[in-house]
Amino acid sequence: MILLEFDRDSMREPSESQIAKLKSVADGQLRYAYFEMKVTLGVDGFDAEIFRVPVLDFMYCLLLSAREIREGGEGCVSFTESDVLIEFFPHGSELKVQRSWDVVPGFCGMDEFVAAVSRFAADGLEFITSKYPTFRDNPTFQKLSQLRSELM
């Protein structure tokens, strides 16, 4: 079992000047300075936890992790503002989820993880573009959409 979702009502709205730059703002700035919201992650073995993160960066890390896992590797989500990590290790047909702040691992199916990441990315991109349509014109939107399409 995996729970991966974001709280639409928790999004910190961009400023007017950020919105004006949305079409062309650089990837790094967009990933770290825009669209912060609460994200929930839970798997079998530990309770769901809520993180307030820049959702595009979290999404990017999850998409890269899912790609690596599909290719037989390991994945990782790192939190830019700290040394906190969530790591994903193939463990048979399951995925071991290890958090740097807790020795107790969690588990979910690998296919289930990939499907949850794909759904999370699709929902997140749809939510943001419904509020800010010019985001579709930003290369970061294209990059995240491409990463997601590779999972399908």
Residue range 97-114, pLDDT digits in tens: 999 999 999 999 999 999
Give percent of the chain with pLDDT exceeding 90: 90
The answer on pLDDT for 46 being more than 90 is yes
User: Per-residue pLDDT averaged across 40-60, rounded?
Assistant: 95
Beta strands 94-99 and 102-109: pairing type? antiparallel
Q: Is the pLDDT of residue 15 over 80?
A: yes
Provide the pairing of β-strand 36-43 with 46-54.
antiparallel
End-to-end CA distance of the chain: 20
Please say whether the beta carbons of 4 and 117 come within 8 A: yes
Instruction: Please state, as a whole number, how many other Cβ atoms lie within 10 Å of the Cβ of residue 72.
Output: 7
Q: What does the pLDDT read at residue 80? A: 67
Mean pLDDT (whole number) for 6-17: 95
pLDDT in tens, 132-141: 999 999 999 9
Predicted confidence at residue 53, as pLDDT, reads 92
Whether 48 has a pLDDT exceeding 80, the answer reads yes
User: How many whole angstroms separate alpha carbon 123 and alpha carbon 100?
Assistant: 27
Predicted TM-score (pTM) of the model is: 0.94
Q: Which pLDDT score is estimated for 35? A: 96
Whether the pLDDT of residue 81 is over 80: the answer is no
At 57 the pLDDT is 94
Nearest one of 57, 18, 41 to 140, comparing CA atoms: 57
Q: What is the pLDDT of residues 16-25, one digit of tens each?
A: 999 999 999 9
Question: Has residue 93 got a pLDDT over 90?
Answer: no
